Chains A and B, each alone.
Chain A
């Protein structure tokens, strides 16, 4: 639950809703209070003008002791059901009339009827008579006291008790109206806000999902859709994509380095072993030759020596296969050398009936030796024809590109599984125990020794070997 509340998916629409509710309520309350204040002011003003309007007739009623006249004036057309309580007091301070005749009886002393009534206070000569005093009674909030004068003598007083009672329902109406409008708006806005919140938060959720996969999966294979757009989240998405790409690149680089180091180590071992084996082998074969020449041999010895020699030759051949000497040839590579490879592969092509697309635009002076490059290309081409199988196709492109010879061999067919890909260029790979196993190792050795690089990528039924060799070849270690 805590997690759910802390989620922006919840918090965003929730905060939208809360702010909408708060705004509406504050608005309703403010309007309600303002209305209440205005109504109170109006009430006071109306009471004062009403008091002034009936003052002259009430003086007459007091002088004539006409209770009914005073009462009918105070009673008004609503029959005493008006907002205010009106009380007419005679000169002796006793009640003369009221529009609440049951509560305020004729002749009742004012001090007894309204003991809490504040003193009217002196009124300046310039001041219009009549004053509204706030009081703190349960049902009375303001009191209007209007002295009734006749010829400079006070003959009575008109008192109005004003309450908020008539306005509270209106105030409540406004507040309740505000709440209802808010509720109405919210029934529309809440789902919309919810959806909007989800939409706003969705890219963040997407990013979070992507990020959580880093470390568990290889960056290269993390296919995340990241949010776009110009917003901060879009920028974040782009940064994240860039970071992911950098991460993938770094991982690839690391993998290549590990592979290169491993292959270099293997190469060193192979070369070392080959040299160590070749030296005694040479000695042994020389000894056999010397022995043959030095004396006539009986048939049995001759046969034994032949057997030994053949066996040693086989060892020498096997060891030499591991030792690639790329720069043994002094002839440099030409356009025709590459064309030769095509010719050499023709018989295999014919047998397997795999169509070959050949595109050779290499035509640049180069110091690259002809033989290893021919061997490299032939190896790769034959491999490709074999991998293409029935119904597959092979395409070869040779081109010059910024001081580099770029050779690309593509074949359709089964992709190479990832676990094989990592050890593809190693000699006698464990994954292909039945293959002869040195073809790609040789290719790798050649490319490395010529200062170039060889790489493979496989995707959606296409396996693509790419070889780049510097035209000024031979800068290798």
Chain B
């Protein structure tokens, strides 16, 4: 089946009233879709709706797999215990040889995003320099925006990222980092700019208690990648469904929930900047 005819088939199903809640039946094993605690993991209702939509499109069940850490998702993916995962650009560049890009979300018109460093709005801190000897929250050690980029920035400024702050801790999720700063647990945090902007729309009361003190250059948006042994046909099919999501009203509604424009096909070179930063900070990993 060509992508076009498949899409036509699904569209027909949707038009026939089966819609997004079409339960995928049959003996086909479910597609295991791993997601990281970016900002979705507390939105089970949304995930179920997206899973139902994807099931209808793919003609097989879709199951979202959540784990507390990026690392766990990555491990499952590398061991082929997941078929697909939405991971950060940083782990992708670390395992680029084994993982295949399926699609990259487009945010504000391009498949790019920024890393933000935020501080409490009432702390008076306006630069990363002022965060010296303060409490700082990382999102996840495998996050580009929540770990790699601020460390790269500090290194570039001649600071030791392990000693610059008085104390650091991991929140294991970008929304939690925003919350930690908003509630005063940390003086500053490194977060995904997309997550912060989306929270600013969804929960402005929380983001209003934080202030963005540093915006990174644009990086490749955290991509959706396939497991090493996922068959090519599946990859093509997945890519087609995701990229075509904007053409479906339900799909568009789901994308709006995600605050995304859609999914696009991208080349690995999109993540070269991240790879360069990773190489510079951890030369041994990429030797």
Q: Do A and B bind each other?
A: yes
Q: Is B164 an interface residue (CB 8 A)?
A: no
Q: Tell me how far the C-beta of B5 lies from the nearest C-beta in chain A, rounded to whole angstroms.
A: 48
- Whether A101 contacts B184 by the Cβ 8 Å rule is yes
The chain A residue sitting closest to B171, CB to CB, is A68
- Whether A68 contacts B176 by the Cβ 8 Å rule is yes
Q: Is B166 an interface residue (CB 8 A)?
A: yes
Assuming the contacts A105-B135, A106-B135, asked whether A66 and B169 have C-beta atoms less than 8 A apart, the reply is yes
Q: Tell me how far the C-beta of B252 lies from the nearest C-beta in chain A, rounded to whole angstroms.
A: 33
A40–B43 CA distance with the chains assembled, in angstroms:
37
Q: Enumerate B149-203 residues with CB–CB distance to A below 8 Å.
A: 166-167, 169-172, 176, 180, 183-185
- Whether A80 contacts B169 by the Cβ 8 Å rule is no
A72–B167 CA distance with the chains assembled, in angstroms:
18
B residues less than 8 Å from A65 (CB atoms): 169
Q: Tell me how far the C-beta of B37 lies from the nearest C-beta in chain A, rounded to whole angstroms.
A: 11
A residues less than 8 Å from B166 (CB atoms): 107
- Whether A68 contacts B170 by the Cβ 8 Å rule is yes
Q: Is A102 an interface residue (CB 8 A)?
A: yes
A80: contacting residue among B135, B167, B183, CB under 8 A: B183
B residues less than 8 Å from A72 (CB atoms): 176
The chain A residue sitting closest to B135, CB to CB, is A106
Assuming the contacts A67-B185, A68-B176, A101-B185, asked whether A107 and B167 have C-beta atoms less than 8 A apart, the reply is yes
Number of interface residues of B (CB under 8 A): 13
Q: Enumerate A105-150 residues with CB–CB distance to B below 8 Å.
A: 105-107
Q: Is A296 an interface residue (CB 8 A)?
A: no
- Whether B184 contacts A67 by the Cβ 8 Å rule is no
A102–B185 CA distance with the chains assembled, in angstroms:
7
A residues less than 8 Å from B169 (CB atoms): 65-68, 106
A68–B172 CA distance with the chains assembled, in angstroms:
8
B184: contacting residue among A66, A68, A97, A102, CB under 8 A: A102
Q: Which among A65, A68, A72, A79 has the highest number of chain B CB atoms within 10 Å?
A: A68
Q: Tell me how far the C-beta of B90 lies from the nearest C-beta in chain A, rounded to whole angstroms.
A: 20
A31–B167 CA distance with the chains assembled, in angstroms:
50
- Whether A79 contacts B183 by the Cβ 8 Å rule is yes
A323–B153 CA distance with the chains assembled, in angstroms:
155
Q: Tell me how far the C-beta of B262 lies from the nearest C-beta in chain A, rounded to whole angstroms.
A: 32
Contact mask B129-146 → A, CB, 8 Å, 1/0? 000000101000000000
Contact mask A221-265 → B, CB, 8 Å, 1/0? 000000000000000000000000000000000000000000000
Q: Is A171 an interface residue (CB 8 A)?
A: no
Q: Tell me how far the C-beta of B271 lies from the nearest C-beta in chain A, rounded to whole angstroms.
A: 27
The chain B residue sitting closest to A79, CB to CB, is B183
Q: Tell me how far the C-beta of B168 lies from the nearest C-beta in chain A, rounded to whole angstroms.
A: 9
Q: Tell me how far the C-beta of B151 lies from the nearest C-beta in chain A, rounded to whole angstroms.
A: 18
Q: Enumerate A8-59 residues with CB–CB distance to B below 8 Å.
A: none
A124–B59 CA distance with the chains assembled, in angstroms:
65
A106: contacting residue among B167, B170, B183, CB under 8 A: B167
A42–B180 CA distance with the chains assembled, in angstroms:
31
A residues less than 8 Å from B171 (CB atoms): 68
Q: Is A425 an interface residue (CB 8 A)?
A: no
B residues less than 8 Å from A106 (CB atoms): 135, 167, 169, 185
Q: Is A71 an interface residue (CB 8 A)?
A: yes
A308–B170 CA distance with the chains assembled, in angstroms:
161
The chain B residue sitting closest to A98, CB to CB, is B185
B residues less than 8 Å from A67 (CB atoms): 169, 185
Q: Which among B137, B172, B176, B185 has the highest number of chain A CB atoms within 10 Å?
A: B185
A271–B135 CA distance with the chains assembled, in angstroms:
139
The chain B residue sitting closest to A96, CB to CB, is B169
Contact mask B243-277 → A, CB, 8 Å, 1/0? 00000000000000000000000000000000000
B residues less than 8 Å from A105 (CB atoms): 135
Q: Tell me how far the C-beta of A200 lies from the nearest C-beta in chain B, rounded to whole angstroms.
A: 65
Q: Which among A80, A106, A107 has the highest number of chain B CB atoms within 10 Å?
A: A106
Contact mask A65-82 → B, CB, 8 Å, 1/0? 111100110010001100
B residues less than 8 Å from A80 (CB atoms): 183
A105–B186 CA distance with the chains assembled, in angstroms:
9
Given contacts A68-B169, A68-B176, A107-B166, could you give 5 more A-B pairs where the C-beta distance is less than 8 Å?
A66-B170, A67-B169, A67-B185, A71-B185, A101-B184
Question: Could you give 17 example pairs across A and B, Cβ below 8 Å?
Answer: A66-B169, A68-B137, A68-B169, A68-B171, A68-B180, A71-B185, A79-B183, A97-B185, A101-B180, A101-B183, A101-B185, A102-B183, A105-B135, A106-B135, A106-B167, A106-B169, A107-B166
Which A residues are within 8 Å of any B CB, using their own CB?
65-68, 71-72, 75, 79-80, 97, 101-102, 105-107
Q: Which 10 residue pairs of A and B lie closest in terms of their CB atoms, listed nearest first?
A: A102-B184, A67-B169, A101-B185, A68-B171, A101-B184, A106-B135, A71-B185, A106-B167, A101-B183, A107-B167
